[in-house]
Every structure is written in structure tokens, then in C-alpha cells.
Amino acid sequence: MKKINFKNKFQKFTDQWSPKVIAELNDYQFKLVKIQNDFIWHEHNDTDEVFIVMDGEMFIEFEAETIKLEKGEMIVVPKGTKHRPYANDEASIMLVEPRGIVNTGDKIDELTAPNDQWI
Amino acid sequence: MKKINFKNKFQKFTDQWSPKVIAELNDYQFKLVKIQNDFIWHEHNDTDEVFIVMDGEMFIEFEAETIKLEKGEMIVVPKGTKHRPYANDEASIMLVEPRGIVNTGDKIDELTAPNDQWI
């Protein structure tokens, strides 16, 4: 059994929009990701998705509104909800979602990242 | 859709060892809890459990070792693992676990808290 230090884990990678798995809770994964600039519109048809801002700030554009999230804030994006994350400056984010979820959801894109990249 | 600010949520309660639900991700819950002094030995036979230290520091005693967790650290306690959380000074913790999990696991105790206390 080993504890996980978020700061140490974030120091282990520099690429953006490519989630790294740090822990599993049953069949759910905790992933860290660095984000900057625009992501694509997408949705996850089978699951909700949690975003937690660990450092910096990010935005999530929905069809009806855009929500700004700062360090110390989280949001649950309900399944089937079209959304587009973006950040003006690099932000450090933790995602919580079931194992096997693709970052671009229903879309295949150059931003589609491989799954199960453990750090 | 509403974002959640951890600091604001922690200001909404003062009782200790009584987890408050702030969000659901499918059938999983995110709970905030303030802890201090000793909890009881217990285990969760059907699920892993995540502890994330949001402020302060805590300890989790296992049969073979005691692990200290500080702000910015998390741990996954595997299902069926006997553990005893405690904190010398009050610490602010986020738990992630399936809906319906009782805080004292397999034990009924004066520390057993009601479920689904949303804030």
C-alpha cells in the first residue's frame, strides 16, 4: 500500500491533454492531466466524468453556458453532455472516471490519447 | 450543472467523522469529512476506499504499518483491508467510494454516521 503525492506525480510528465493514471478505486481511475489551449467538443455516452482543478484554472464550454473552474473546485459532467474543456494557461487537472474511458469520448481526433498510461 | 468549491463546502459543517456528500459520479459519491482524534478499526468488504487530504494531515493505521498522509496526498485502501484512521489535529478529508458505504464499515459504533447527508 502506497500513498500518492499529487505534486510528485505532476512532475513526472510534461505532455498536455494526455491523462496519466495514478490510482484505481474498484473499476474507476484517478488520472492527472495537464491542459492548455482548446480541446474538442465531445461527450461520454456511458458515464459521468469528474474534473478537479489541482492548479491553475480551466473552462468547460457547454451548449448553454461556459463554466470557469479554479484551483480547489470540481464539477461533474453528466453522461451524454456535450462539452469542450479549455485553458488559457496550463492547468493541472485530476479526472475521475471508469477505467477504459477515452479522453475524446465519441470522437477520434489527433488529441485522442492512449489509455492506461500509469505514472 | 454547478461547480463545487471545496473551501465553501467545508465551511458548511463543523461536526467530525460525519461525511457530507458533495457530488455523485454515476453510483459513486464524493464526500467531505472533518476528522480528529481516533476512529475505530474497521474494513469495507465490498469496495476500495479513497482518502484525499484537502487540509492538515492524517494517519491510517494498518495491521503492518501506519501511513501518514499530508495535504495534497491520497491513498486507496483496498477492499477487505482492516484500517484505523486518526488525526492529531483536525484535518479536512475527501472520500470517494460507492453510494451507500457506511463509514464504520463492518462495525456499528457510536461513530457510525448516517449516509447521504448532502451539503
Our CA-based measurement puts residue B23 at a distance from the nearest CA of chain A, in whole angstroms, of 7
Mean pLDDT of B8-22: 98
| Domain membership flag for residue A20 | no
Residue tagged 474534473 (cell numbers): A51
> Taking residues A99-112, what's their average pLDDT?
93
Does the structure show a pLDDT above 90 at B68? Answer: yes
Q: Is the pLDDT of residue B83 over 90?
A: yes
Domain annotation covers residue A49: yes
Mean pLDDT in chain B? Answer: 97
Distance separating alpha carbons of residues A78 and B26, to the nearest angstrom: 8
Task: Tell me the mean pLDDT in the region A76-89.
Answer: 97
| Domain CATH code at residue A109 | 2.60.120.10
**ipTM score assigned to the predicted complex:** 0.96
Q: Would B50 be classed as within a structural domain? A: yes
In the numeric block, which cell numbers belong to residue B71? 495535504
Q: Is residue A2 part of a domain?
A: no
Residue range(s) defining the domain that contains residue B62: 15-98
Domain total in chain A:
1
- The reported pLDDT for the residue numbered A1 is 83
Does the CB of B7 have a partner CB in chain A at under 8 Å? yes
Tell me the mean pLDDT in the region B71-83.
97
Contact B75 A1 (CB under 8 A): yes
Q: What is the pLDDT of residue A37?
A: 97
Whether the predicted pLDDT of A111 surpasses 90: yes
Task: Please report whether residue A101 resides in a domain.
Answer: yes
B114 inside domain: no
Give the C-alpha separation, B69 to A77, whole Å.
Answer: 29
Q: How far is B59 from chain A (nearest CA, A)?
A: 11
> Confidence band (pLDDT; 50, 70, 90) for B1?
confident
pLDDT digits (tens, 9 = 90+) for B22-59: 999 999 999 999 999 999 999 999 999 999 999 999 99
B67 to chain A: which residues are within 8 Å by CB?
Answer: 1, 3
Q: Report the residue of A6, A8, A9, A25 to disrupt the B interface, i.e. the one with the largest count of B CBs within 10 Å.
A: A25
B2 within domain boundaries: no
Check if B44 contacts A (Cβ < 8 Å): no
pTM here?
0.97
- Decide if A8 is inside a domain: no
For residue A104, is it left (φ>0), alpha (ψ between -120 and 50) or beta? alpha
Kindly list the residues from chain B whose CB atom is less than 8 angstroms away from the CB atom of residue A80: none
B-proximal residues of A, 100-119, CB under 8 Å: none
